[in-house]
Amino acid sequence: MTLTLILVATIGVIWFVERSFEHLKLAIAALCFSAAGLLFVVTDLERAILLTSNLAVAIFGASIVKYKHSGLKLIVTDFPLAFAGTVPFFLVQYPLAITAVLAGGASLILAAVATLLYVPGPPICLELRVLFFTTAFICLAAAYRASGGAGSFQRIAAQKRCFFSTFIASLLDRHSWRQFGGLTLSDIANDPLPLMAAVPARTLDYPDIIFIQHESIFDPRVYGLPVEPIVEAFLSPKNGLYGTLNVDIFGGGSWQSEFSLLTGLSSASFGSDAYFLFKRGVGRFHNSLPHSLAALGYKTMLTSSCRRNFLNYDEFYRSIGISELIFTDDFPPPFDVDRFETTHSDALFLKAAIGAHAKQITGDTTPRFLYALTNFNHGPHNRRLVAPGHFTSERAFATSSLPDACYAEYYARLVETAVTWNRLKFELSKCFPRRPALIVHYGDHQPVMTRRIEAKLKLPLDERRQFRTFYAIETLNYCSDRLVSGRGADLDIAFLGTVALQQAGLPLDEIFATRASLLEQCGESYFASPSERKRRFHRTLVEQGMIDLAPTVRH
């Protein structure tokens, strides 16, 4: 009778952690294999099944937490992130989530102890345990093979189902256990793609190129929320090109968007290495937007709202062609880094970043590339960073659209960014009236706060919505006929650099010309696109030495 009740409960657990029939066979096979392994420890079927169910619920709980904060499910290679700054970050940013995880973990530990102490069953002989383990292993391997392997789970990584089977598939994926040193590119064909002919320039007057990555900014209209004219002009400039931008991340990991923009590749293509590309990718990418612009005679500069010791920014950015890097601890007075870090205000940072750019172009006709990385709108949004008495009417407007304090704070910060940019754009045009510039704004990812928006508005399920931000391309002192204006196509961030070169009228080398030819086929979703031409293009990049995947040789 006890075993029957346990089996019924286990069926409920399987559905609870999967919520889908698609990979149910793998989930059941994994549970059976886990139980078979535990039989060598506890010897009875009752406790083995209960402990296995307990483990499945633990994996599901951790996966749900990760999904809520990143838009992706838990995989085995997430565990090394605990040693890469993720846990301290979560402790500071999401204390309630950490508290819930600790409470849930404690409950599961107590349940496991209670199982071991109070649910003993009749022991099973060693021969049967060996037979059960062998059979379960064969079934697990067959189920994994039938599921399509790790690749099939990558395609549903953002879908709110198959939590347990996704983790098990990552556990069985051989790439999860390879020795680190090289990189693995998941979407690559065996045969290369012939490169397209280079595209000549459409102008002799090369404009300055300014990219501004706006931390955690998305277009509220993606969620059906209205915006005021100042925000609309920022997100959808009247005389510019604008649209929806698809990114690989949600809630954090801004450097993955930075990587995709500058290399023209999806960070997701590198699987478990995506989080570590700024360290493991140093010296491995030899065709990038900064490299291309430097070859055209541009001077390249990055300004970051982080200190120089953040991640591995200095070394990685120099390796892909950025010649000058300015961090917050490098800006000269009157910029005060300690004061700035109390709010990370765009009013302070963008003024310093554009000021550094203006200083460089004074008396120098060399075209410039500036990449500015902001940090103002990062969560959590339960803290008021906008100065008291500022943008109160805009905060009220947001509250009238959605009665949520976090959204109102997000919107107030967005307005401050828009107002700041309008002022700086005017000053830049006024001080350098004869110097053309192309400016690209975009959001690196959505903040976790958008989960509250979905819940309060009771929006239908759309796993791609959480990966949509915005892009806007506008000009200063530019011939209006050189820029296509109006609503543009949905765009993947891997193509944004290529589109900027096209809009600037700059020449495209053979690699950028080939990447541009992929726009029609996979322009709105680069990694998720099944395009064989894209996969062959990646093979070409590897064979030509533009991407180095080889293990590092240690001497």
What mean pLDDT value characterizes the chain?
91
* pLDDT at 71 exceeding the cut of 80: no
According to DSSP, the β-strands at 208-214 and 491-492 are unpaired
Across residues 372-380, what is the average pLDDT? 94
Name the residue among 244, 259, 263, 270 with its Cα closest to residue 472. 244
Sequence-distant (6+) residues with CB within 8 A of 5 are none
pLDDT at 8: 85
Name the residue among 271, 270, 303 with its Cα closest to residue 285. 270
Please, are residues 201 and 507 in contact by the beta-carbon 8 Å criterion? yes
Structural domains of the chain in order of their starting residue, each with its CATH number:
2-177 (no CATH), 208-470 (3.40.720.10)
Summarize pLDDT for 297-341 with one digit per residue, the tens: 999 999 999 999 888 899 999 999 999 999 999 999 999 999 999
Gyration radius of the chain's alpha carbons: 26
pLDDT at 178: 58
* pLDDT at 179 exceeding the cut of 60: no
**How many degrees, rounded to 5, is the angle at CA 464 between CA 462 and CA 469?**
120
Quote the CA–CA distance of 127 and 133 in Å, as a whole number.
Answer: 10
DSSP string, 374-433: --TT-S--SS--SPTTSSHHHHHHHHHHS--HHHHHHHHHHHHHHHHHHHHHHHHHHH-T
Residues paired with 220 in a beta bridge: none
pLDDT at 97: 73
Summarize pLDDT for 408-428 with one digit per residue, the tens: 999 999 999 999 999 999 999
* SS3 state of residue 284: coil
Distances in Å between the alpha carbon of 339 and those of 300, 421, 452? 28, 20, 30
Across residues 117-125, what is the average pLDDT? 88
pLDDT at 555: 42
Amino acid at 102: L
Q: What percentage of the chain has pLDDT greater than the value 70?
A: 94
Element (H, E) at 299: strand 299-304
Sequence-distant (6+) residues with CB within 8 A of 268 are 154, 248, 274, 527
How many Cβ atoms are within 10 Å of 409's Cβ, its own excluded?
A: 22
Q: What percentage of the chain has pLDDT greater than the value 90?
A: 70
Please, are residues 350 and 304 in contact by the beta-carbon 8 Å criterion? no
Name the residue among 469, 466, 463 with its Cα closest to residue 493. 469
Q: How confident is the model at residue 80 (pLDDT cuts 50, 70, 90)?
A: low
Here the tokens at position 103 are: 């409470």
Sequence-distant (6+) residues with CB within 8 A of 365 are none
pLDDT at 498: 97
Quote the CA–CA distance of 128 and 122 in Å, as a whole number.
Answer: 13
Quote the CA–CA distance of 62 and 66 in Å, as a whole number.
Answer: 6
Name the residue among 398, 438, 258, 412 with its Cα closest to residue 347. 412
Here the tokens at position 290 are: 């900064």
* pLDDT at 270 exceeding the cut of 80: yes
Name the residue among 208, 155, 160, 222 with its Cα closest to residue 443. 222
Quote the CA–CA distance of 31 and 266 in Å, as a whole number.
Answer: 34
Residues paired with 320 in a beta bridge: none
Please, are residues 404 and 452 in contact by the beta-carbon 8 Å criterion? yes
* pLDDT at 86 exceeding the cut of 70: no
According to DSSP, the β-strands at 208-214 and 368-373 are parallel
Name the residue among 442, 72, 492 with its Cα closest to residue 251. 72
How many Cβ atoms are within 10 Å of 244's Cβ, its own excluded?
A: 18
Sequence-distant (6+) residues with CB within 8 A of 547 are 183, 185, 265, 284, 285, 286, 538, 541
Chain centroid to CA 247: how far?
6
**How many degrees, rounded to 5, is the angle at CA 152 between CA 148 and CA 155?**
170
pLDDT at 121: 86
More confident residue, 179 or 427: 427
Summarize pLDDT for 4-43 with one digit per residue, the tens: 888 888 889 899 999 888 999 999 999 999 999 999 999 8
Summarize pLDDT for 498-539 with one digit per residue, the tens: 999 999 999 999 999 999 999 999 989 999 898 999 999 999
DSSP code for 545: T
Please, are residues 50 and 119 in contact by the beta-carbon 8 Å criterion? yes
Q: How confident is the model at residue 386 (pLDDT cuts 50, 70, 90)?
A: very high
* SS3 state of residue 441: strand
pLDDT at 155: 76
* SS3 state of residue 326: strand
Quote the CA–CA distance of 512 and 360 in Å, as a whole number.
Answer: 28
Here the tokens at position 197 are: 């002919």
